[in-house]
Chains A and B, each alone.
Chain A
């Protein structure tokens, strides 16, 4: 993930915190460490960003090798920089699959003259994309997007109609939309998955969407559960 600013427009606050495990990487969200954990921060998981501290900005290297968390006496301490603003805006690429491949680009299988349905070749009902977003990547509606208001098998329905589509037009969809909280991250915790049902996973709230092609679409998020905003 990338740091993209703050709601308030203020300067980022950068703190250096101690790691409590291995596996840290620049660009992941880190959490308050659990009780009895050794350090001050833990790593988020693909489905949890509760009690977030902020975005990790680096992982230390020492003479070319990463400074890993270690409990060996005399080893360097793993201390990393974190942007801790609770109102920070994070930008992540939208992908599918646990390892983060390009979004599924689907093709219109049955034309819709009224523009209220998009009938593709893959299911939008399981996982359910209802309340998510759909956008065209070619055809008469290229670049246009709508909120999905219901789904059934391979058919996504919208209320504000698109222009009539044609068989062969390509489109993408995502189980992410503005104001919805809950996204599932890839295993490297750097990207967000669009192939998971809406509002499932980590407490990141969608702020904006950059809808481009299958490989360069992004979503912007805020921390839905910053540890500096609420004590839970």
Chain B
């Protein structure tokens, strides 16, 4: 069967949009793009359709579970989605996030220290 190949005509607007920061470049595979972001230790935001394709542990990332969704542009499909999952580089996690688990541990420690008479 004959296949008709039509060269896509990119407008100046298309090209400028591609040059916009933070977005995946034209023709770039999503996986490679996300691998690049992961190598840069940046926050990764993925929509519900893309999130299952990403293995955070493999690249030393931690999925944010206390706030399971965020509103962001998906790094996989470049679509703004109000139900994105977000991933933070593990080493940076405690620097930028306060979790209930950590606060609970601190409260327990405080209680025990008060019982001992010295905070």
Cβ–Cβ contact A58 & B98, under 8 A: no
**Residue of A with least CB distance to B72:** A14
Knowing A60-B41, A67-B40, A79-B22 are in contact, say whether A12-B119 is a contact too (CB < 8 A): no
Cβ–Cβ contact A60 & B69, under 8 A: no
**Chain A, 57-97, contact with B by CB distance < 8 Å: what is the 0/1 string?**
11111110001000000000101110000000001000000
Cβ–Cβ contact A61 & B41, under 8 A: yes
Distance of B19 from chain A, by nearest CB (Å): 10
Residues of A within 8 A of B39 (CB): 61-63
Cβ–Cβ contact A81 & B42, under 8 A: yes
Knowing A27-B96, A62-B40 are in contact, say whether A57-B88 is a contact too (CB < 8 A): yes
Residues of A within 8 A of B118 (CB): 137-138, 142, 170
Distance of B28 from chain A, by nearest CB (Å): 15
Which one, B22, B66, B114, contacts A143 given CB within 8 A?
B114
Cβ–Cβ contact A13 & B96, under 8 A: no
Subset of 23 A-B contacts with CB under 8 Å: A2-B98, A4-B98, A5-B67, A11-B70, A11-B71, A14-B43, A14-B70, A16-B73, A18-B21, A27-B96, A57-B88, A58-B41, A60-B40, A60-B41, A61-B40, A79-B21, A81-B43, A136-B119, A139-B117, A142-B117, A143-B114, A143-B119, A213-B113
**Chain B, 69-80, contact with A by CB distance < 8 Å: what is the 0/1 string?**
111110000000
Q: Report, as a range, how many residues of chain A touch the other chain.
A: 35 or more
Distance of A9 from chain B, by nearest CB (Å): 9
Q: Which residues of A contact B (CB under 8 A)?
A: 1-5, 11-16, 18, 26-27, 55-63, 67, 77, 79-81, 91, 135-139, 142-143, 170, 190, 210, 212-213, 216, 218
Residues of A within 8 A of B119 (CB): 135-138, 142-143, 212-213
Distance of A55 from chain B, by nearest CB (Å): 7
Which secondary structure dominates where chain A touches chain B? strand
Report B30-63 residues with CB < 8 Å from chain A CB: 39-43, 45
Cβ–Cβ contact B110 & A212, under 8 A: yes
Residues of B within 8 A of A80 (CB): 42
* Alpha-carbon gap, A136 to B46, bound state (A): 46
Distance of B14 from chain A, by nearest CB (Å): 19
Distance of B33 from chain A, by nearest CB (Å): 13
**Residue of B with least CB distance to A139:** B117
Residues of B within 8 A of A212 (CB): 106, 109-110, 113, 119
